Amino acid sequence: MAITNDIDNPAYVPEEASPQIPIEGPRVTDLNTTFFEEVRNSYNQDKICSILCHLFNKDCRDNSLIHALDEVWEKSYYEGRFHLLDGIIYHRTKPTCAMTVVDSSLINLVLKKCHDSTNVAEY
């Protein structure tokens, strides 16, 4: 049973609110389409992300798959905190969404390109 979209739900969004998902991230990077393909492909190697992609691609509630998620991930799923956009999983917290990157080499690449670079402006 999914948690309803009411004020007691930590992921509550008023019905009249804009359906836009506020995704925060680097505004200008030299990450190319290959990076995003690698993120998508890495989901196949991660149990949780693989389950989430399968659930979203089936567009149904397969209880056996949902219960295969770890407790914290299952709770977030029921609260409607995950979104799949262009094959990329985003996890929503109250103000924003963050891209889910599970491969450590891709995480390091993001840190190098978007954080450690001398050309990056701090926001």
> Which residues fall within 8 angstroms of residue 25, CB to CB, at 6 or more apart?
98, 99
pLDDT score for 67 = 92
Give the Cα separation of 122 and 44 in Å (integer): 33
Question: What single letter denotes the amino acid at residue 46?
Answer: D
Measured between alpha carbons, how far is 115 from 70 in angstroms, rounded to an integer? 30
Q: What are phi and psi of 90, to 5 degrees?
A: -115, 140
Give pLDDT, residue 57. Answer: 82
| Mean predicted lDDT score pLDDT of the chain | 79
For 23, which DSSP code?
A: B
At residue 45, the pLDDT reads: 94
Q: Tell me the per-residue pLDDT of 6-16, one tens digit each, with 9 for 90 and over.
A: 777 777 776 66
Beta bridge partners of 85: 88
